[in-house]
Amino acid sequence: MAGELKPLKIGDEVYIKALQRHGKPLHLYGKVSHVVPGNESEKEKAVKVQIESFFLRSDLELWDSEAEREKRELVLQAKVTRVEEARKTLASAAAQGAEVKAANVMEFLKAYAELSAQD
């Protein structure tokens, strides 16, 4: 059968036809470093491929995982603070027996939705 896929083994060299940039293929090659075991058909098996590619220095940015983690923590803390302040505003109005304003409820809901959407 012409369309049948042969099983891949660790160390097999492969052409990665699925990767594209701006609608054009990247023409990347790699080596299979891991084949996930399972009962899936050969077409649906997951395979880990190590890619070696060359880039212009201007296309690369040094990745500082510690700095990125700190940025994410600051953003998360700001969102938590916003939710807490909105919750306190609602609780204060309810404790005083005052009418809860729709704007305050909307602020709480927006802040909570933003926090919930955090990855």
pLDDT digits (tens, 9 = 90+) for 42-78: 777 888 888 877 778 887 777 788 888 899 999 999 9
Q: Where are the alpha helices (DSSP H) in 5-116?
A: 65-95, 102-116
Name the residue type at position 82.
Answer: R
**Above 70 in pLDDT, residue 26?**
yes
**Both 50 and 69 in a single domain?**
no
**Both 73 and 107 in a single domain?**
yes
5 lies in a domain? no
**Both 69 and 103 in a single domain?**
yes
Give the model confidence (pLDDT) of 8-20 as tens digits: 889 998 888 777 7
End-to-end Cα, the chain, rounded Å: 44
Angle at Cα 48 formed by Cα 38 and Cα 31, nearest 5°? 125
4 lies in a domain? no
**Both 83 and 46 in a single domain?**
no
What is the residue range of 85's domain? Answer: 65-116
User: How many structural domains comprise the chain?
Assistant: 2
3 lies in a domain? no
111's tokens: 């802040």
Mean pLDDT of the chain: 85
20 lies in a domain? yes
Q: How confident is the model at residue 1 (pLDDT cuts 50, 70, 90)?
A: very low
List, in sequence order, every beta strand (DSSP E) within the chain.
13-16, 20-21, 24-25, 28-35, 47-51
8 lies in a domain? no
